[in-house]
């Protein structure tokens, strides 16, 4: 993307928070924790948030099915139409696919997302899931918790907690979409 203005602060180079190996270990631990918290796989369903939460949910579901020898249903949720800022954002955000082909009534549902920040995405996800049914319980698993919550929302399973100062950013890359597995952090308001 073209540079259209000079950054206010000196930009720092992105710091690697998780490399590919570390990301793999972290996701494996999250899979174990999810099964533990869900008391097994019987009622468990995973729902990934578009976009990178979907790929993470796929990986976690795959790991669980290998370790527990049980298939875990997984779906995808796009929360765009439930956002609370649609009246103020400029061009309309692209709407992604929502795929929840089974009943979620009575299930232990685990939402999977890449980064937990303000909590507004999860608020929207909870509202959207309520339109699909009434799970017995909803958990939240995130690869990175970067702090900065604006709503009373917390994650049950966290891959890595990082303290990102205001203006900073966390980027999650997954090989399915980005060609590599990596989590990076940028401290100052740098444009990439």
Residues at the site binding another protein, with contacts judged by CB under 8 A = 1-2, 4-5, 78, 81-82, 86-87, 90-99, 127-128, 131-133
> Cβ closer to another protein: 7 or 147?
7
> Cβ closer to another protein: 104 or 143?
104
CB of 134 to another protein, least distance (A): 11
CB of 99 to another protein, least distance (A): 7
CB of 100 to another protein, least distance (A): 8
Bridge partners of residue 137, in order along the sequence: 108
> Cβ closer to another protein: 96 or 119?
96
CB of 170 to another protein, least distance (A): 20
Q: 166-190 burial by CB neighbour count: b if 16+ within 10 A, else e?
A: eebbbbbbbeeeeeebbbbbbbeeb
> Cβ closer to another protein: 50 or 55?
50
For residue 147 the two structure tokens come to 């702090």
Nearest to 183 by CA among 15, 11, 12, 13: 15
């Amino acid at each position: 993307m073209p540079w259209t203005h000079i950054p206010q602060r000196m930009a720092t180079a992105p710091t690697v928070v998780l490399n590919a190996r570390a990301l793999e270990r972290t996701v494996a631990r999250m899979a174990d924790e999810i099964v533990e918290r869900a008391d097994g796989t019987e009622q468990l369903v995973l729902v990934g948030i578009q976009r990178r939460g979907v790929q993470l949910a796929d990986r976690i579901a795959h790991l669980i099915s290998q370790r527990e020898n049980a298939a875990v249903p997984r779906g995808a949720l796009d929360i765009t139409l439930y956002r609370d800022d649609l009246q103020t954002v400029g061009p309309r955000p692209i709407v992604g696919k929502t795929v929840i082909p089974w009943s979620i009534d009575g299930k232990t549902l685990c939402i999977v997302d890449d980064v937990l920040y303000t909590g507004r995405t999860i608020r929207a996800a909870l509202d959207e899931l309520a339109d699909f049914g009434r799970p017995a319980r909803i958990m939240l698993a995130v690869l990175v918790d970067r702090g900065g919550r604006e709503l009373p929302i917390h994650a049950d399973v966290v891959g890595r907690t990082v303290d990102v100062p205001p203006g900073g950013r966390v980027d999650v890359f997954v090989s399915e979409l980005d060609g590599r597995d990596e989590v990076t952090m940028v401290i100052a308001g740098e444009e990439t």
